[in-house]
Amino acid sequence: MINSPVMRSLIDTDFEVYKNVLPQELHDEIWQCQIHQIRIEIKPGKQLEITPEGIHCDGYPFSGVHFWGRHNVAGAESRLYTAQEEQLAAMTYEDILDTTFFLDRDMRHYVTPARNIHSHEMAFRQILAISFSRPGTAFDIVR
């Protein structure tokens, strides 16, 4: 998967975005990249809580969420919040590679419940989450 030109491009693009908030001396340092492929599946006529932990922070310094598809899904609105949980933005991913970049440690996020709108077919929603950190430094993951 890491040798995929699409995945390589996403990783490179994401890091280029985060270079804008990094000191120049950190641009060429070695960073750890975490990739999470998340696919939720919903049975016909059912609803699913995508983020059962509610409004939360995963602790990564830098995160990007890339939409990878949905079928038969209503809801699943992605929301970004301040650290004090004041809503900043809301969006429902519709097009492949709709993307949100955010400073995860400084913000919070949540996705509203997703509902299968079909009575006989499964529904799904899938994203790729790409995060960067530097273990043992000020840019480590905070839990």
Q: What is the pTM of this model?
A: 0.91
Give yes or no for residue 2 having a pLDDT over 90: no
Place 1 in a pLDDT band, splitting at 50, 70 and 90: low
Structural domains in the chain?
5-133 (2.60.120.620)
Average pLDDT over the chain, rounded to an integer: 95
Cβ neighbors of 27 (< 8 A, separation 6 or more) are 19
pLDDT at position 142 is: 86
Contact 130, 63 (CB under 8 A): yes
Q: Report pLDDT digits (tens) over 71-107.
A: 999 999 999 999 999 999 999 999 999 999 999 999 9
Max intra-chain CA distance, the chain: 55
